[in-house]
Amino acid sequence: MPRSSRELGGARGSVAAERAVALPAALIAIAFGVGALAAAATQVSLQDAAADAARLLGRGETSARAAAVIRDAVDGASSASRSAGDLVCVTASLDMRIGRLISVPLSASSCALAGGL
């Protein structure tokens, strides 16, 4: 037998209120998940670009060419290079924005043998 609205009392409309609270929370969680996946993909690209730039410097290319490889791979990324003995090391970095409020600093380093082929 169906219950009348009087028997339900204050429960009528509580489902709508719960949905009104849960839906934005679920959307925010999904947005952060997508942002985390994008940051992880950017980190992989940054690591690959740093490795490519280090190999270029190891073969004798200019630091401008190595920096261009990093900028082409990841928009807005910056790079720094240094020599350490027989190695040439490159660090690529980027402050990635997730939404308008969160900034995630990403950094990747790679070294290559100087004078290598």
| pLDDT tens digits, 4-24 | 555 555 566 677 778 888 889
Nearest residue to 43 (alpha-carbon basis) of 113, 85, 104 = 104
Mean pLDDT of 89-95: 96
In this structure, are residues 55 and 90 in contact, taking their beta carbons and an 8 Å threshold? no
Does residue 90 carry a pLDDT above 60? yes
Record the tokens describing residue 117, joined without a space: 């082929």
Nearest residue to 45 (alpha-carbon basis) of 87, 101, 100, 96 = 96
What is residue 20's predicted lDDT score, i.e. its pLDDT? 82
Q: What is the pTM of this model?
A: 0.77
In this structure, are residues 87 and 113 in contact, taking their beta carbons and an 8 Å threshold? yes
Q: Does 20 or 53 have the greater pLDDT score?
A: 53
Nearest residue to 97 (alpha-carbon basis) of 68, 80, 75, 112 = 75
Percent of the chain beyond pLDDT 90? Answer: 62
